[in-house]
Chains A and B, each alone.
Chain A
Amino acid sequence: MHTLLATDNINSENLEMLLLAREKGEAEFILVDVRENSEYAMGHLKGIDMLKPTSTFQSWAENLLDELKDKTVIFTCRTGSRSGQVQNIFRSNGHKRVINHSGGIVSYRGEIEK
């Protein structure tokens, strides 16, 4: 599990495994959905900790970077593009443990909540 958390990108299958491991207390990370409120309401991964839409990025980015600076953070979105952009910005601003969910929710076969 620790190996998966040491990568830059994680696919849906491995994210599903990590979420199960976290439920058992075997992994620690924060899962942040960067889609919009309406997209989130249509369905989201079970296990999302925070919803931070990219349309309001400027309003939350700095605080979140500071709040989660010592945590492992996984960003997710619909296809992995927006979350990848957020990951890059966080990384270039000094966050050392930030992971992108590549493929996003459209490639996820685990539990989806509404």
Chain B
Amino acid sequence: MMQQLDINSDEFKAELIKTTKFTDKVCESQGWVYSSNEDVNEGVTLGLARHRLLFGKRFCPCFMVEPDESKPGKFKSSDDRICPCKPAIEKELPEKGICHCQIFCTAEHREEQIREKEAKALAKEELKIVEAEEI
């Protein structure tokens, strides 16, 4: 059975620092930015660190990792998704502006996310005011 990792261990914390440096570098080299959703970014970074420790590679945390039967002792994931994955580079970012995991996006997409978030917050506030007036 696959071991469960202690995310509070020193080993995991050290890997998390390395993984954050890695994702910073991915942004820099690809010309991407982080999504505006910090919870999502944190979840993906934790998942990448976890996979690095368990499988030796930063497999995409959104996909299941399985033993590679053709290479004993090695692992693989669907579409061979190792971060930064080919589908993100070739298709997801150019076409949708954001990767499947939703950690990396284009600057334009991030701006759009922020605008949407602000519009939603504003609509919520307005709804509160209308409800208060009705009472």
Contacts and interface: CB of A to CB of B under 8 A. Distances in A.
Interface of A: 36-39, 42-43, 54-59, 77-79, 81-82, 85-86, 106
Nearest to A43: B39
Contacts, number: 53
A78 B62 contact: yes
Nearest to B50: A36
B54 interface: yes
Given A79-B101, A106-B102, A39 B43 contact: yes
Interface of A is mostly: helix
Interface residues of B, number: 24
A42 B64 contact: no
Interface in B51-72: 54, 61-66
B97 interface: no
11 contacts: A38-B5, A38-B50, A42-B46, A58-B1, A59-B1, A77-B62, A79-B102, A81-B63, A82-B62, A85-B63, A106-B102
